């Protein structure tokens, strides 16, 4: 469980990364196949909405700085590499605690800002938990045979249990894409429900791997089924597919979240992951969330960026905001 009282820094802001802090968890519903079948997603219209949004919303000056700081607070700072080591994870965690230079945060009046979480593979959980001790930053672990999710099902469930036991407070599971591609919504629902069960108190993010689902309609349907089965978050991608987070996919998924909220009263979180590396992109994502879901979702308990290089670009933009001079990457601590 995430707590808010263990912070060792005197300037810590209240951490509210986890949904249970302010929101009741989504308990799920029965699988409603009629609803699933009703879902439509018109690709060209969705693309037009996304293509014109950056021209419809412009965030400048102090507002831009504040929005970028908000983006920082929503980042799941991530390393998911075969060559990860404990010390490399320690460095990443240090960056999560101090994502932006302390002096800059002071200048913005935002000392103590941290990222939303650190996201690692199972084997790196202990290292991350140790490094983040007392920071209030949760550890998220990718799980269930990430990224393909094709290892034996009982092992996938067991992996979740072990990750939770190791101290992960958030579990990013991958769904079986074949259930979507075969139209086997019952199987997807059952799988998701069982994974949610295995997570216990840990929060579960369902990675849909949208780049492999074939159509936006499938993305919308898979989103709904995972929410019905109790997902706390739905997440676009593993970062390992050839196409990862995109604005059209985002629009489809957050509209599904909105529909689910309107039907059930439960707010499910959203995490785009992979391919978001520019500060400008982060602003567009945030404005899309604001427009389609509303301000409540602009908090780390309901929104995360799964990103590794985004933070560096945001730091440069923030420094530019303070100094008026364009910044250089080497001036900012690497994560």
Q: Which pair of structure tokens corresponds to residue 214?
A: 């074939």
Q: Is 323 in the site for other proteins (CB under 8 A)?
A: no
Residue 82 is classified by DSSP as T
Instruction: Say if CB 303 and CB 75 are below 8 A apart.
Output: no
Phi, psi of 148 (to 5 degrees): -80, -30
Q: Which is nearer to other proteins, 198 or 283 (CB)?
A: 283
> What is the pattern of x (binds other proteins, CB under 8 A) and - over residues 96-135?
------------xxx-------------------------
Q: Which is nearer to other proteins, 2 or 299 (CB)?
A: 299
Annotated active-site residue in 205, 235, 301, 313? 235
Q: Which pair of structure tokens corresponds to residue 122?
A: 């199972």
Instruction: Say if CB 206 and CB 180 are below 8 A apart.
Output: no
- Count residues near other proteins (CB under 8 A): 38
Distance between first and last Cα of the chain? 25
CA atoms within 13 A of residue 75's CA, in its CB half-sphere: 37
Q: Whole-angstrom Cα distance, residue 284 to residue 297? A: 14
Q: Is 221 in the site for other proteins (CB under 8 A)?
A: no
Q: Which is nearer to other proteins, 65 or 139 (CB)?
A: 65
Q: Which is nearer to other proteins, 66 or 94 (CB)?
A: 66
Q: Whole-angstrom Cα distance, residue 147 to residue 169? A: 19
Minimal distance, residue 298 CB to other proteins, in Å: 5
Choose which of 32, 84, 190, 291 interacts with other proteins (CB under 8 A): 291
Active site residue 271: yes
Active site residue 235: yes
Q: Specify the residue for token string 């419809």.
A: 56
Which 268-287 residues touch other proteins, going by CB under 8 A?
286-287
Q: Whole-angstrom Cα distance, residue 195 to residue 127? A: 24
Which 47-76 residues touch other proteins, going by CB under 8 A?
47-49, 52, 55-63, 65-67, 69-70
Q: Whole-angstrom Cα distance, residue 196 to residue 326? A: 45
Annotated active-site residue in 205, 232, 271, 313? 271
Annotated active-site residue in 76, 172, 301, 313? 172
Distance of CA 47 to the CA centre of its chain: 22
Minimal distance, residue 64 CB to other proteins, in Å: 8
Q: Which pair of structure tokens corresponds to residue 21?
A: 């802090």
Q: Which is nearer to other proteins, 173 or 289 (CB)?
A: 289
Per CB under 8 A, the segment of 37-45, 124-132, 221-229, 305-313 that binds other proteins is 37-45
Q: Which is nearer to other proteins, 27 or 109 (CB)?
A: 109
DSSP-assigned letters across all residues of 125-192: HHHHHHHTTTT-PPEEEE-SSTTTT-S-HHHHHHHHHHHHHTT-SEEEEE--HHHHHTT-HHHHHHHH
Minimal distance, residue 111 CB to other proteins, in Å: 10
Minimal distance, residue 322 CB to other proteins, in Å: 10
Q: Whole-angstrom Cα distance, residue 32 to residue 291? A: 27
Q: Is 324 in the site for other proteins (CB under 8 A)?
A: no
Minimal distance, residue 67 CB to other proteins, in Å: 7
Choose which of 215, 243, 264, 316 interacts with other proteins (CB under 8 A): 215
Q: Categorise residue 210: left if φ over 0, alpha if ψ from -120 to 50, beta otherwise.
A: alpha
Q: Which is nearer to other proteins, 194 or 291 (CB)?
A: 291
Contact residues toward other proteins (CB under 8 A) are 40-49, 52, 55-63, 65-67, 69-70, 108-110, 215-217, 255, 286-287, 290-291, 295, 298
Which residues are known catalytic residues? 172, 235, 271
């Amino acid at each position: 469980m995430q707590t808010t009282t263990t912070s060792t820094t005197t300037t810590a802001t209240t951490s509210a990364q986890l949904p249970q802090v302010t929101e009741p968890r989504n308990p799920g519903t029965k699988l409603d196949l009629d609803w699933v079948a009703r879902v439509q997603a018109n690709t060209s219209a969705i693309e037009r909405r996304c293509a014109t949004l950056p021209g419809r919303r412009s965030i400048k000056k102090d507002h831009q700085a504040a929005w970028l700081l908000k983006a920082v607070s929503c980042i799941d700072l991530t390393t998911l590499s075969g060559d990860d080591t404990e010390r490399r994870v320690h460095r990443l965690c240090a960056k999560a605690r101090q994502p932006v230079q302390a002096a800059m945060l002071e200048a913005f009046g935002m000392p103590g800002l941290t990222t939303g979480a650190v996201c690692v593979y199972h084997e790196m959980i202990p290292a991350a938990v140790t490094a983040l001790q007392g920071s209030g930053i949760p550890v998220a672990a990718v799980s269930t045979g990430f990224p393909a999710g094709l290892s034996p099902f009982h092992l996938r469930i067991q992996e979740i249990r072990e990750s939770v036991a190791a101290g992960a407070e958030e579990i990013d599971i991958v769904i079986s894409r074949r259930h979507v591609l075969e139209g086997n919504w019952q199987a997807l629902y059952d799988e998701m429900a069982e994974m949610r069960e295995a997570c216990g108190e840990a929060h579960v993010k369902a990675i849909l791997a949208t780049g492999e689902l074939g159509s936006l309609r499938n993305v919308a349907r898979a989103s709904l089924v995972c929410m019905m089965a109790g997902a706390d978050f739905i997440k676009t991608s593993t970062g390992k597919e050839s196409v990862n987070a995109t604005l059209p996919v985002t629009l489809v998924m957050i509209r599904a979240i909105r529909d689910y909220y309107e039907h059930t009263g439960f707010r499910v979180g959203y995490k785009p992951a992979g391919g978001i590396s520019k500060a400008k992109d982060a602003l567009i994502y945030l404005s899309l969330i604001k427009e389609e879901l509303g301000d409540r979702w602009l908090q780390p308990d309901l929104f995360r960026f799964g990103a590794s290089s985004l933070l560096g670009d945001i730091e440069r933009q923030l420094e530019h905001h303070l100094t008026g001079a364009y910044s250089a990457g080497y001036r900012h601590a690497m994560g």
